Structure 1
């Protein structure tokens, strides 16, 4: 028996490369038509991808730490930040937000660098304040700390050692006792208002596909409070079996007016909530359109200044930014749309294949009143691995018998080899196209930098010439002043000399007159 499953999977993927190559263009056109048909009054949906921060020194301390700004990331946490950027980068978010706490901002840095987007710090996303439990060991204080937040989400919890959860009516009046006054503290209304305020700001900014770096408690509790498509039993299952580890991801979709639905929770995808190819393209088209509009606005603003240097710089920067935005769009389409269609086809083929023998018994999720280990109630430190694959996600390896006819077998292999060659050629062409796009973007960026350098050099030269002219004018002014002073001194000397000569002449005239008078007397 020969197992052809792996080679056939690879061959099938490559065979579909040619058929999927033009899919992105067709879907983009369809998305534009759908977007143009939407009523102007409809509240536009947005996707929020919550990302918990990487491991911090607060996590490793084993103590509850919710104070702002809080501790920094550990080396492991920094690596987790890089890993999550690589994992989520091609979702091509249109904005990146982080809480007022240092650990979320540091976790957001690699994604910010990958997408070329700034990190916008937004109040309201910080961790749920622990009140009197701040600084206490998690084992001792976590139950008291989370009792009120769970009540906000409609869950009650029995204390250790036999921890269990039960659904209740949401109680937003419950509060976490503060350290200063145990009779008051953060309640559900205040928590809800501050997170909703942050999401309203994101919506008002026009961002519809934002990455939001926040905290485990804030993400889990707010989601369980607001996800309309979650039952109490599902909340218990997600909270106990899939607690949000460092850099865990929760995705919600909706808007502040109509409410929210859960799409994905720490690797668990909610049935019926996954976007189709056209919806993904619509999101990416909107992001690209906004970024290109921003380029146009920057260039227009430069033209309004009338400064040639600023205009040229804006044009060159705009060209580089437009190419970079287009390259991100292409990556996102390849990753989300074409990759998604390929995965869907693979999953369909796997479901149609004969099932593999059961390897073991599946553990059912806890429901109302289910007992839970105390370990499940502790805050996770390391990132939790995604949930086990669901039905249809793992391929069943089916062994095929070799063909009895050597000629037929040889023809099959020849056909496979030709298909592989064609698919490899198409794949190589796609990579070449991507490389050319990247090269064009790099070239445009390099040209922009060169133009900036030339503009700066021209400005420096003009400044030097102006300085030289000013120095020359100052020297000439000084010379003229000296000559004027010299002329003034000469004029004074001449006047003094003339006055002396006039005085002498007057004296001589008087003397002559006196002599004439004396002669007449004799």
Structure 2
């Protein structure tokens, strides 16, 4: 019988900068009122399963999203910088129009998803991929056969989806990454990683997709 590890990955709730379409990256932007409501909905409608661990990025928006989940599950959040969003370097804090106006060359690389591009002292897609995939494999071993929750960011979810489906980093995204949706993946030693359900937002009235 296969021993399956189940992971529920959740992007943080809505922030003011999500609405303004600004790259947040490592900048510590809190949830807005909609995001706080989404966090409550995530916890209220979370399937009743025997969760053993709750992980969250150390940024405010993810910790705020994880707080109602901690109350629901009784788990103390394990806060880690390894689940942070990609660092977007000089592009952080800008919306698409400002990016193009102020940094046209860098924005071209960002739009083309050049894997080695680090946005000047930021983090490249390849570096983000390596950071996240190493973490995911470690968590699968550490929590073998368990149910765990990860509260993280859109860029992280982008990497996870592409990695499991063996999609290249430099192709345009063709799958949704909404705020506060459930993304279920699983792992077993025989078959490896699998996406079970993606972008389940049935518990939400409305939600924005990742920039």
Tell me the TM-score normalized by structure 2.
0.77
| Structure 2 counterpart of 1:326 | none
CA shift, 1:257, in A, is 8.5
The answer on 1:127 being equivalent to 2:65 is: no
1:97 equivalenced with 2:55 (yes/no): yes
- Residues 228-267 of structure 1 mapped to structure 2, 5 A cutoff: 239-240=173-174, 242-255=175-188, 259-267=192-200
Alpha carbons of structure 1 residues 249 and 147: separation in structure 2 relative to 1, 3 Å? farther
Match of 2:104 in 1: none
Separation in structure 1 between the aligned mates of residue 128 and residue 177 of structure 2, nearest angstrom: 19
Aligned residues: 195
Q: Which of 71, 74, 97 is residue 113 of structure 1 equivalent to?
A: 71
Q: Distance in 2 between matches of 1:258 and 1:187?
A: 29
Contact 2:22 2:93 (8 Å CA) reproduced? yes
- Alignment-derived partner of residue 23 in structure 1: none
CA contact (8 A) 1:64 1:133 kept: yes
Identify if the C-alpha distance between structure 1 residues 143 and 105 changes in structure 2 by more than 3 Å, giving closer, same or farther: farther
| 8 Å CA contact 2:14, 2:34 repeated in 1 | yes
Aligned residue in 2 for 1:222: 160
Superposition pairs of residues 146-161 of structure 1, within 5 angstroms: 146-148=111-113
Pairing 1:76–2:34 present: yes
Contact 1:123 1:198 in 2 (8 A): no
Question: Would you say the 8 A contact 1:131–1:179 is kept in 2?
Answer: yes
Q: By percentage of residues, which structure has more strand?
A: 2
In structure 1, runs of 5+ residues without a counterpart are 1-33, 39-43, 152-173, 269-381, 386-522
> Helix, strand or coil for the counterpart of 2:51?
coil
Q: Distance in 2 between matches of 1:93 and 1:53?
A: 19
**Which of the residues 95, 119, 133 maps onto 1:178?**
119
TM-aligned CA deviation for residue 175 of structure 1: 2.1
> Is the partner of 1:95 in helix, strand or coil?
strand
The aligned residue for residue 410 of structure 1 is none
Q: Distance in 2 between matches of 1:65 and 1:257?
A: 38
| Aligned equivalents of 1:62, 1:188: Cα separation in 2 | 20
1:212 alignment partner in structure 2: 150
* Pairs within 5 Å for 1:422-461: none
Q: CA RMSD in A?
A: 3.0
Match for residue 13 of structure 2?
54
Write the deviation string for residues 333-354 of structure 1: whole angstroms up to 9, x where unpaired.
xxxxxxxxxxxxxxxxxxxxxx
Aligned partner of 2:110 in structure 1 is 145
Match of 1:64 among 5, 23, 38: 23
| Distance change >3 Å, CA 384–CA 221, structure 1 → 2 | same
Q: Using the alignment, how far apart are the partners of 1:146 and 1:122 within structure 2?
A: 28
Cα contact 1:100–1:126 (8 A) shared by 2: yes
Q: Structure 2: which 5+ residue stretches go unaligned?
A: 100-106
Q: What is the distance in 1 between the residues matched to 2:95 and 2:56? A: 26
TM-score (norm 1): 0.34
Tell me which structure has the larger Cα radius of gyration: 1
Alignment check: 8 A CA contact 2:57 2:82 kept? yes
Q: Distance in 2 between matches of 1:115 and 1:246?
A: 21
In structure 1, the residue matched to 2:102 is none
For the 8 Å contact 1:99–1:124, the answer to whether it is kept is yes
Q: Which has the higher contact order (CA 8 A, sep 6+)?
A: 2
More helix by share: 1
Equivalent residues of 1:130, 1:145 under 8 A apart: no
Conserved 8 A contact 2:5-2:143: no
- CA distance change for structure 1 residues 195 and 91 in 2, over 3 Å: closer, same or farther? same
What is the CA–CA distance in structure 1 between the aligned matches of 2:36 and 2:50, rounded to whole Å? 21
**How far apart are 1:226 and its partner, in Å?**
2.5
Deviation at 1:212, TM superposition (A): 0.6
**Contact 1:133 / 1:144 at 8 angstroms: preserved in 2?**
no
SS in 2 for 1:47: strand
Question: Structure 1 226/111 Cα, relative in aligned 2: closer, same or farther at 3 Å?
Answer: same
